[in-house]
Amino acid sequence: MQGDFVQVFLGESFGWSRHEFMGMRIFCKGYLHGFARHRDALPRIARVATSVSEGDGKAMSCLDGHFSFIVVARDFAVLAVDRTRSIPVLLAERDGTYVIADHAAPLLKALDMGTGDIDGEAARDFAMAGYVVGNGTLYRNIRSMQPGEIALIRRNGKLEIFRHASYHPWLAKTVIGDEGAWRKKLAEITLGIIEKMMISVSGRQILLPLSAGLDSRLIVSALKHLGARDVVCFSYGRAGNHEADTARQVAEKIGFQWHFIPCTPGLVRQKRAEEDFSRFLSLSDNLVSTPVEQDVSVVMSLRDQPWADKNAVIVNGQSGDYISGAHIPPMLAASLPMDREAREAVIFSAIHTKHLGLWPGLKTSENLSRVKARLWAELEEEGAPLDVPELAFSIYEFSEFRNRQCKYVLGNQRGYEVFGRDWRLPLWDGDYLDFWQEAPLPLKFGQRLYREMLVEANWGGVWNTLVPAPCWITPAWIRPLRYCAMAACAPFGKNAWHRLETRLFNPLTDIVCTYAAVPYWKVVTGPAHRNAISWLTAQHLERHGLPWNGGRDGRA
């Protein structure tokens, strides 16, 4: 869509709806609780945009759901993303005109940008983590809207950025009080979120990817408890994998349909060769993170399954493990009574150990120092309590939320949209964010409160067994070889075994066959890597004319 002070480029058939309302052009994507269709929400969105144009960023509080919208009026334009940035929006300015897009290709074309316009520091972030740190993107002068942001563009070219919501784990309560009251409150909020989600799907079939983990089981058991009927569970991966076996048992206990979609390296490579997969890679390129491929070949297969309704809504369990405290490192599970510099070193060590190691060879002191500076600038801008020892864990949690979770992990939803599937993210609901940002650390660490609540509630009768779920290596034929290799590495220590396992065995035992994207010989002979995402990130950088390490000159 062309305008005299904005241009809007959105992916066709990518979930966006376009409307004319009261002299405004309104573009919507996602879902808003309380509204069955985008068209029904137009008066509310128009009022919010008008209020924002008058300086009232709090007007966004009346919108509940996962969404992005763009409103173009005569004298202003407003673009907004929800609290988790579940639907990315990009923004750039050129020659007095603002260009808005939801994916890279049309934006780079409109801006006439190429490899020479890549931000070198952002490219190194990308190579190390699979995402860019901060509000920048892989290219200079292109901004990615951050979680809970609103951009107001005036006809005169002035740009203002508002924050309508955020997630601040440092609001955690310091006094626990009655633990039973915490469990009761969590159970009530959880059921309220699932019930709200059930209303929003308007009676359509719910397709639920079910694994052996807690989060998808929470959703399916709560749906059963609340009386949902048209729910179909499915699992996928290599035949005989432990995730699918536990999922089958859970579904059978609850009484919902369960189906298995097999994955093999050959099937995944076949799907990746199709034109639709290339379309996914293009539409999911938002210049801030590697496209998430894990579910894509499976979602493509859903089109051929008679048990999957065409208008079904996919509901997954992301990111219940993160939000409920599973990712808090043990080193940050208590107060760190040391000076600020030493405390920051411990916090950053936890961050880079978990999130900046796609290619161990890139973890040089220079690269780490540069990334830390960018992360800490983001923390200081947000008002993070860097001087409070007992809140050290919250610094880590916020950094992961703002960067890995909201950029990379939620990119999983693009694989649904490209193939015409609506989705819901109940465990990223605003009510959950509000609850968990205030949960005391002793209840949050190790998911203690989360687990205790689930076992106590025992919805669907599936929480007193299979916790933890049994686990084994698939395929079975590789187990003897793996044990022999492990024994051979024993004299050289665990690190030697893990290095060998990553190169030789992980590509062969990867349940969802993500490693199929790269030849086995390349994994074995290439640079040391962390997992399959390392190689997918290298491929994504290559599509932008960059080597695996993110450097245009080929150097790390």
The CATH number given to whatever domain includes residue 179 is 3.40.50.620
* Residue 414 located in a structural domain: no
Judgement on whether residues 319 and 338 belong to the same structural domain of the protein: no
Judgement on whether residues 179 and 276 belong to the same structural domain of the protein: yes
CA-closest candidate to residue 388, choices 169, 167, 133, 165:
169
Residue type, 207: L
Residue 552: the pLDDT is 59
Cα angle 219, 403, 107 (rounded to 5 degrees) comes to: 105
CA-closest candidate to residue 317, choices 326, 309, 328:
326
CATH of the domain at 46: 3.60.20.10
Give me the sign of the Cα torsion angle 320, 272, 89, 131.
positive
Check pLDDT > 50 for residue 57.
Answer: yes
The residue with tokens 């128009």 is: 46
Residue type, 218: L
Which residue among 163, 188, 206 closes a domain?
Answer: 163
Residue 470: the pLDDT is 85
Judgement on whether residues 129 and 201 belong to the same structural domain of the protein: no
Judgement on whether residues 37 and 59 belong to the same structural domain of the protein: yes
Check pLDDT > 70 for residue 157.
Answer: yes
Judgement on whether residues 180 and 320 belong to the same structural domain of the protein: yes
**Integer CA distances (angstroms), 321 to 210, 282, 422, 526, in order:** 14, 29, 23, 32
DSSP class per residue in 118-183: B-HHHHHHHHHHSB-SSS--SBTTEEEPPTTEEEEEETTS-EEEEE-----GGG--S----HHHHH
Which residue among 163, 186, 208 closes a domain?
Answer: 163
Give the pLDDT confidence of 180-237 residue by residue, as tens digits: 999 999 999 999 999 999 999 988 999 999 999 999 999 999 999 999 999 999 999 9
Judgement on whether residues 149 and 247 belong to the same structural domain of the protein: no
Q: What range defines the domain where residue 486 resides?
A: 476-543
Judgement on whether residues 302 and 440 belong to the same structural domain of the protein: yes
Which residue among 163, 182, 200 closes a domain?
Answer: 163
Residue 64: the pLDDT is 96
Here the tokens at position 541 are 């950088």
* Residue 556 located in a structural domain: no
Check pLDDT > 70 for residue 46.
Answer: yes
Tell me what percent of the residues of the chain surpass a pLDDT of 70: 98
Judgement on whether residues 530 and 386 belong to the same structural domain of the protein: no
Q: Specify whether the CB–CB gap between 214 and 447 falls below 8 A.
A: yes
Mean of the per-residue pLDDT values of the chain: 94
* Residue 550 located in a structural domain: no
Give the pLDDT confidence of 384-426 residue by residue, as tens digits: 999 999 999 999 999 999 999 999 999 999 999 999 999 999 9
Check pLDDT > 70 for residue 81.
Answer: yes
Here the tokens at position 130 are 């699979």
* Residue 51 located in a structural domain: yes
* Residue 305 located in a structural domain: yes
Q: Cβ-count burial of 366 within 10 angstroms (0-12 exposed, 13-18 middle, 19+ buried)? A: exposed
Residue 464: the pLDDT is 85
Check pLDDT > 80 for residue 12.
Answer: no
Quote the number of domains for the chain.
4
Judgement on whether residues 365 and 435 belong to the same structural domain of the protein: no
Q: CB-based contacts of 368: which residues, under 8 Å, 6+ apart?
A: 348, 352, 356
Residue 335 — very low, low, confident or very high, per pLDDT cuts 50/70/90? confident
* Residue 298 located in a structural domain: yes
Check pLDDT > 90 for residue 483.
Answer: yes
For residue 261, the tally of other CB atoms under 10 A from its CB is 19
> What SS3 class is residue 490?
helix
Partnered with residue 80 across adjacent β-strands are 69, 150
* Residue 346 located in a structural domain: yes
Q: Specify whether the CB–CB gap between 129 and 403 falls below 8 A.
A: yes
Q: Specify whether the CB–CB gap between 527 and 361 falls below 8 A.
A: yes
Judgement on whether residues 452 and 512 belong to the same structural domain of the protein: no
Judgement on whether residues 229 and 316 belong to the same structural domain of the protein: yes
Judgement on whether residues 454 and 308 belong to the same structural domain of the protein: yes
Distance CA 43, CA 163 (A): 22
* Residue 309 located in a structural domain: yes
Q: Specify whether the CB–CB gap between 239 and 262 falls below 8 A.
A: yes
